[in-house]
Structure 1
């Protein structure tokens, strides 16, 4: 009887068509504890190889269901990663080895124009395996918000307090627009907890590592109210990557729709893109999804989301899910995001780039592409000019280090974009020239 009352309470809180909430997997937690992995330490880099595929089991989570349209990607083409030459600091190396052994990649999916070029899975994964997407989640939260913008329900130039009046007393958010929050230009100042790169009060409210130890904070909004403001840069002038910005976008979605972020994402994104699988969205016990990093989804489905974005916002059934203008604005940037990027630390690696609406745009080695990015090796690349999508899910030991980031974006991505484009233009075959170390594509004329 008690269980029925709890279920009915959840449905009443989120609406009759709510996503299904699940509690942490006790049997899994008990098994994990026997090898020293607990809710408190599951997300440390040393545990990534196991827990990126099982992250949702450590927290509450909401299940998002896919819709009736499921896109058929087709069969893999004759594209062989072993024949593509990558480079590490010690010299040439086959791309499959570079990804699997050097970058701890667990899944690779390559699409062109919505069709499968090839896919690779390691570390026990397959095409049906979900994987923690970390901050790739931010892009999904932003794209959910954009469906409301398209309907005229959210004005990106309005103050965020127009939608979340609780933030009017906030030292940081009180003067920020929704657009500045989406671009990570809100001017928030996070005081890191000792030994961490975040304020532990936020992750406590989200119950990311077990029960909340700050009972005075019932919602992520309670944390946002007390976030400090930067004094070294004016609001809007510096790109500063902070999770709390994304969480506020998720709260705007919830406030405007009257539904939870997970329920809105299910209805507006998950049921419309053509995904093959349901997804799991990590949350706290009250159903607030972790909009900045809690999405557990298959590599194929995340790749398909990027395919939609670079396909003018249309799914492969021809339905407009996102506005074409949204993708265009991401690709073109503007003076505000250019200035903010130049004042941020990522511009050192990629000066020709910017961050807008929770999505990065890069121009590297002649390739201009969009990127969803998450720590520990989660990367989704979409190149509009060629229709190529690259999806990587990883389990890197460290969250985000110079070597792995530079190797991925400055070497692996442009090399693969070149190789895929060459082969799909002349799809007869490819081989690695032992003498030159270059990829040779064998075309019809030969």
Structure 2
């Protein structure tokens, strides 16, 4: 018996050490920030992005995810001259260094090809070892964590979401939706935006994104999800409608079927396996519910390495299969359902030949077919499987998803970079 108890205690201690570690907000940093008018209540406002995108996790609870023993060697940069490539703004052509740094308010740019570093650029105090809030790029990481559970047979994407989260049975918005529809942002939920915001503040309150929760009756993101109604103009599955709470429900499925938090799963299934160079933080509430839709704080190089797994057929550069090939094949192929739903969404006006599947966009622009992780302040990661090129940019744009900056990025800068990088030997 004594030996058995000793063994059990060792196992418990091991699992605790390996689990993502919960950290409190950085009280000293918050105090200093108040001196320049930035508080927990307003840290995420766009006008402060140049400071807060690099320090976001300090304003909230966060969970630290440790990397693993394998660290991918990006090798020495082969070099890329941004000043010799050209992009466009409303006032005409400019070199890409001006477009990316000055016009798009990017703080870093990392370019890979076939898993090796082409070049990297950093501005506004950023460097290769510094984390940056990735905002909705986090959604893709949550989905890729879920994809592994699907491959293991623990989740069926065609099941009703209420099979895994019965708390949602009372929510008209979710009661008839499948997991796949939720993953594709085709759930059919209706969000009533808080005045002046493009989200319902009850969600961010439950997540303690801006300090203490002002809605104590909502103790979990599931409580918020259970309040949501259904759209009256489209049925489940018919329209692409980008809502963060859909991703949060995917994160709750991950936690429910494994008995471990989303952060723990992401750490074990991605952070310790891909070859990342650094630990990361994912913001959460004080109960350890990670913000799976927008809380990832990671280095640009590590985010680029995640996309490199996708363009490398789901394998890291050590040859280990991280993501199932079927997940990537299905992303790139799309289907009639996601194509039709995309046409009923706002983004189709910018990019008609595209779709959104499993929390990842696929674009066909200027002869380039590429996968994209996208964040609301200009965080962008793209990967082109046919060339092996990956591009990551960490944005700190003061206006969220502005038409001008989105159009410049996806219709001009990304296709130009893909073409110019591919020309190099």
> Shorter-chain-normalised TM-score: which range?
over 0.9
Alpha-carbon offset, residue 92 of structure 1: 1.5
Alpha-carbon offset, residue 16 of structure 1: 6.2
Distance 1:366 1:294, change over 3 A: same
Alpha-carbon offset, residue 17 of structure 1: 3.5
2:59 corresponding residue in structure 1: 58
Give me the TM-score of the superposition, normalised by structure 2. Answer: 0.96
2:271 corresponding residue in structure 1: 270
Judge conservation of contact 1:158–1:178 (CA < 8 Å) in 2: yes
Give me the TM-score of the superposition, normalised by structure 1. Answer: 0.92
Alpha-carbon offset, residue 181 of structure 1: 0.3
Alpha-carbon offset, residue 88 of structure 1: 1.6
Which runs of 5 or more residues in structure 1 are unaligned? 1-10, 425-446
1:195 corresponding residue in structure 2: 196
Give the secondary structure class of the aligned counterpart of 2:172: coil
- Separation in 1, partners of 2:372, 2:79: 25
1:141 corresponding residue in structure 2: 142
1:90 corresponding residue in structure 2: 91
Aligned length: 414
- Separation in 2, partners of 1:82, 1:375: 26
2:383 corresponding residue in structure 1: 382
- Separation in 2, partners of 1:16, 1:247: 25
Alpha-carbon offset, residue 310 of structure 1: 1.2
- Separation in 2, partners of 1:349, 1:28: 39
Which runs of 5 or more residues in structure 2 are unaligned? 1-11
Task: Give the aligned CA root-mean-square deviation in angstroms.
Answer: 1.2
Judge conservation of contact 1:15–1:259 (CA < 8 Å) in 2: no
- Separation in 2, partners of 1:299, 1:382: 14
- Separation in 1, partners of 2:63, 2:304: 21
- Separation in 2, partners of 1:372, 1:258: 27
1:307 aligns with 2:297: no
Give the secondary structure class of the aligned counterpart of 1:369: strand
2:408 corresponding residue in structure 1: 407
- Separation in 2, partners of 1:334, 1:273: 28
**CA offset digits 1:265-321 (Å, max 9, x no partner):** 000011000000000000000000000000000000000000001111000000000
1:45 corresponding residue in structure 2: 46
1:107 aligns with 2:108: yes
Alpha-carbon offset, residue 18 of structure 1: 2.1
1:122 corresponding residue in structure 2: 123
2:21 corresponding residue in structure 1: 20
**CA offset digits 1:394-429 (Å, max 9, x no partner):** 1001011110000000000000000000013xxxxx
Judge conservation of contact 1:362–1:370 (CA < 8 Å) in 2: yes
Alpha-carbon offset, residue 65 of structure 1: 0.2
1:397 aligns with 2:409: no
